[in-house]
Amino acid sequence: MSAPRGVWRIVAAREIAVKLRDRNFLISTLVTIAAIVASLVISTLVTGRTDTIEVAVVGADTEQVLRTADTLADRADKNVDFAARPVADIAEAEQQVRDEEVDVGLVPSDSGWRLIGKSAEDDNAATYLGAAAQQIALQRNAEASGTSLEQLGRGGGVTYELLDESVVDPALARIVAFVFALLFYMASVLFGMSIAQSVIEEKQNRIVEILASAIPLRQLLIGKVAGNTAMAFAQLTLFVGAGLVGLAATGRADQVGRIGGAAGWFIVFFVVGFLALAGMWAVAGSLATRGEDLNSTATPLSILIMIVLFAGIFLTGTGRVIASYVPVVSIVAMPSRLADGTAAWWEPLVALTLMAVTAYGIVVVAEKIYRRSLMQTQGRLTIRQALAIQD
């Protein structure tokens, strides 16, 4: 009597139960969630930390320059403070800069002011101290001419309007792309290796012979793929949710909606793509007869995963546009483009369709190889040898 077609659900439930009872899996998941939130908090603290620039000053007017520079930096939402360290003369200011007792020196000169650094320019000091000195000079010159700074600057105001405010900040978009690539790598290896090792253990212990007599091998494969895909989906959802909550908690709530859409697409792409990867991991396990064989049978798959990881991190411009339509690589590339606003609304639909068609084809071929090689326990097989075995 043949087994019911829905028997794969039993296999899937068993795969899920095994994961949920795995203490290492649960602990690593919680640690990763904590690490995601902590990294966001730390990055916010680092970027929000005020940078105090110590300035050796000569003359009474220099402190006015520093106060004006502080005001300009505040208006620009720049976390920079300028601290005056009065010294007797220019020579002492230069010596303190050489001894690194201060960051820069500000001293009067014939043309206005000299900003003194040791070996490299401080961009914040050059920008805000320079702007402050110019503003003070303009104000004095305007008063001497019987006018005001406001009148001199009339008609010179510039407002900055964004045509598309839905686009994520470029720096944050790069971080998101890196996170997508890293999460893809972690989930692909963790759950993929779990599938492969499970298949090898069943072959080594000859349990597969018992299972094959009660369950069609196709149903066994579907159950393993479905169970691990469900767990990968759940874990990724937790990770993404933790990241979005962390963004909101660190004062970046305006970015949550924008990144959330790209993150949602990433999960969808990963689930569809992982169906193909899971089938290939099952093949890697079925071709092996012992754990040591997996290093060889899984090498092509490991290389593919590394390619996707590096493509997601390093590809830019036209290369990333092309990669966003290449199945498997698109798992990371297309959501990254959505995060930085360079993809039109229809592009993920096209890329997802290509990914789904490719995943279906890979799963069909993987099922055939899996079914033909699973019962072969004499030694490690190649894909060509497995395909040559008759059903």
pLDDT digits (tens, 9 = 90+) for 237-274: 999 888 888 777 766 666 777 788 899 999 999 999 99
Give 247-267 as a 3 state SS string.
Answer: HHHCCCHHHHHHHHHHHHHHH
Question: Quick one: pLDDT at residue 1?
Answer: 44
Give me the chain's average pLDDT, please. 85
pLDDT(13) > 50: yes
Question: Quick one: pLDDT at residue 229?
Answer: 93
Strand 112-116's sheet: what is its strand order? 80-86, 51-57, 104-109, 112-116
Sequence ranges of the domains in the chain: 5-44+169-388, 50-152
Distance of alpha carbon 358 from alpha carbon 339, whole angstroms: 24
Q: Which residues contact 31 (CB under 8 A, 6 or more apart)?
A: none
pLDDT digits (tens, 9 = 90+) for 49-65: 667 889 888 877 788 88
Biggest distance spanned by C-alpha atoms of the chain: 105
| More confidently predicted of 141 and 365 | 365
> For residue 109, what is the DSSP state?
E
> Cα(first)–Cα(last) distance of the chain, in Å?
20
What CATH class does 50-152 carry? alpha beta
* CA 177, 180, 186, 188 torsion-angle sign: negative
